[in-house]
Amino acid sequence: MIIKEQIDIKQKITQNEVKKIFSNSQNLKYFLNKKGIDIKKNMSTQMLKDLVVENWNYEEDKKIIREMFKNSSKYQSGLFAQSSLLELIKSWYDKYQSEIEWPFVANNFDQFTANINRKEIEEEEKDRLIAVAAQKFRLIKEINTLRNDFVEKIIFENSESIIPTLSHSKSVDFFINGIMFDQKVSKSLGKKLIEKLNMENPMDYLKKNPHILAKWMYENQDQERFDYDYRLYVAFGDNDLEPNRIVNIIKSTNFSDPIDIEFSYKHKSSGILEYKTKCLVIIIG
Mean pLDDT of the chain: 90
Same domain, 138 and 181: no
Same domain, 105 and 24: no
Q: Choose the final residue of a domain: 136, 157, 178.
A: 157
Same domain, 104 and 139: yes
Same domain, 260 and 220: yes
The pLDDT of residue 239: 64
* Containing structural domain, residue 112: 77-157
pLDDT, tens digit (0-9, with 9 covering 90-100), for 65-82: 999 999 988 788 788 877
Same domain, 180 and 46: yes
Q: Choose the final residue of a domain: 157, 175, 199.
A: 157
Q: Are 278 and 5 in contact (CB under 8 A)?
A: no
- How many other CB atoms are found less than 10 A from the CB of residue 179? 16
For the four alpha carbons of 29, 33, 37 and 39, in that order, the dihedral sign comes to: positive
Same domain, 220 and 276: yes
Same domain, 172 and 133: no
Q: What is the mean pLDDT of residues 29-44?
A: 92
pLDDT for residue 230 is more than 80: yes
Same domain, 106 and 227: no
Give the closest residue to 248 by CA, choosing from 154, 183, 182, 125. Answer: 154
d(CA 229, CA 180): 9
pLDDT for residue 155 is more than 80: yes
Give the closest residue to 20 by CA, choosing from 65, 86, 77, 63. Answer: 65
Same domain, 176 and 250: yes
Q: What is the mean pLDDT of residues 30-39?
A: 94
The pLDDT of residue 275: 97
The pLDDT of residue 90: 87
pLDDT, tens digit (0-9, with 9 covering 90-100), for 162-171: 999 998 777 8
pLDDT, tens digit (0-9, with 9 covering 90-100), for 97-111: 888 888 887 778 888
Q: pLDDT band at residue 241, thresholds of 50, 70 and 90?
A: low
Q: What is the mean pLDDT of residues 130-154?
A: 87
Q: What is the reported pTM?
A: 0.78
DSSP string, 199-246: -S-HHHHHHH-HHHHHHHHHHTS-GGG-----EEEEEESSS---HHHH
Q: What total number of domains does the chain contain?
A: 2
Q: Choose the final residue of a domain: 123, 157, 191.
A: 157
